[in-house]
Amino acid sequence: MDAISINRRTPADEEELRRLYAETFGTLLSDGSQRRWAWQYIENPETRTSGELPEIWVARDEGLLGQYASMPVTLWWRGQEVRASWGMDVFVRPEARGKGVGARLFLTWAEHVDVALGLGLTPSSYALFHKLGFADVGPVPFFRTWLDPAAVMSRRLGQPLGRFAGAVIGLGLRLRRRRPRVGSIVVGPIATFGAEYDELWSRTRASHVMCVRRNAAYLNWKYVRCPHREYDLWEARREGRLAGFAVSRHEDYRGLHLGWIVDVYADAADSEARSALLAMILDSFRAKGVARAQAFAMGQGLARDLRRAGFVRGKSPMQFCVRARSGVSEAARDLGRWHVVFGDSDMDR
């Protein structure tokens, strides 16, 4: 294992990696998986703009041992935009496990960016990130609310007990929800993100300590051209000027209609815009029969607005570890101004 080399993945590695994937997971990549892979790594605007190979690292000795794939982003980090990436997919040939290959792949990835980001980690990856000196800044807080308590409780208790319990819970939820102050904010649906979103990002980014650059190119790639999800897109305007946006989706999940608030973005101090966006999403969820709404939110302002909208905090499975060349401790003193949500990394893949 001393002769291990780690380099960027090239087209010449493709066939061997396909075979390794099949050996490791017992199946070949489907056509849908390959389309998603191309979107995630080849069509990423950071990759297309740089003209470089995807940020996927391959380990070899006499043959291929494994790979680690990351998603490059431009990150607003402590007052400037820096090169960063989300660590995502790792797999190692079974006979090479336990011999440090994974650690070498992780370190190679982390050393090639200003900030390395690990979100939604498996227990083994979480332990390895700690071992390699990543700072633990998670978990990212999780929030949920019931829009149709009778449907949720009927699923748990059956009828008619579930419907009775749901009616009681629904009354309590209505009493605790606050009407949002939206002022002159107007919220409506959109189909794509226009050039104004570049200006919104430039105008609002300094209100955050940490946030992936949310310009038009990134947002259209992430949410409009995503091949495996369909999103509802919303924007908020104050006297005609763009103030923020939100992304949501809904699905049937194990017999329950579930709604996800994927992202809600505005200036960190603009509770009015966030609250108006949340109110619109929740109204749309109710109209579509969503029984439970869920969100992840690291930012203190968004977390507060979710609670005002009737959300309660639950146990979060989304671990979050970070390593930065400039160190993490200074930025970590103000985690309340880190904007990290379900739409970041590949959490909604």
Chain segment 213-230, per-residue pLDDT in tens: 999 999 999 999 999 999
Angle between helices 123-131 and 101-111 (to 10 degrees): 70
Q: ∠92-93-98 over CA atoms, to 5°? A: 70
pLDDT of residue 82: 97
**What is the C-alpha to C-alpha distance for residues 316 and 164, in angstroms, rounded to an integer?**
29
Percent of the chain with pLDDT over 90: 68
Chain centre to alpha carbon of residue 11: 28
Q: Which amino acid is at 12?
A: A
Chain segment 50-88, per-residue pLDDT in tens: 888 899 999 998 888 989 999 999 999 999 999 999 999
- Which residues are paired to 232 by β-bridges? 248
pLDDT of residue 122: 87
CB 23 within 8 A of CB 96: no
Domains of the chain: 5-136 (3.40.630.30), 142-315 (3.40.630.30)
Residue 263's SS3 state is strand
Confidence of residue 36 (pLDDT cuts 50, 70, 90): confident
Taking phi first (over 0 means left), then psi (-120 to 50 degrees means alpha), and beta for anything else, what does residue 303 get?
A: alpha
Chain segment 230-245, per-residue pLDDT in tens: 999 999 999 999 999 9
pLDDT of residue 3: 81
**What is the C-alpha to C-alpha distance for residues 149 and 171, in angstroms, rounded to an integer?**
10
Chain segment 100-152, per-residue pLDDT in tens: 898 999 999 999 999 999 999 888 889 999 999 999 998 999 999 999 866 66
**What is the C-alpha to C-alpha distance for residues 220 and 202, in angstroms, rounded to an integer?**
17
Q: Over 70: is that where the pLDDT of 92 sits?
A: yes
pTM for this entry: 0.89
Chain segment 249-306, per-residue pLDDT in tens: 999 988 899 999 999 999 999 999 999 999 999 999 999 999 999 999 999 999 999 9
Report the 10 Å Cβ neighbour count for 245: 24
In this structure, what token pair is assigned to residue 125?
Answer: 């990856």
Q: Which helix (H) or strand (E) holds 288?
A: none
pLDDT of residue 164: 47
Q: Over 90: is that where the pLDDT of 173 sits?
A: no
Task: Report strand pairing: 312-314 vs 320-324.
Answer: unpaired
Angle between helices 161-176 and 149-157 (to 10 degrees): 150
Task: Report strand pairing: 115-119 vs 256-266.
Answer: unpaired
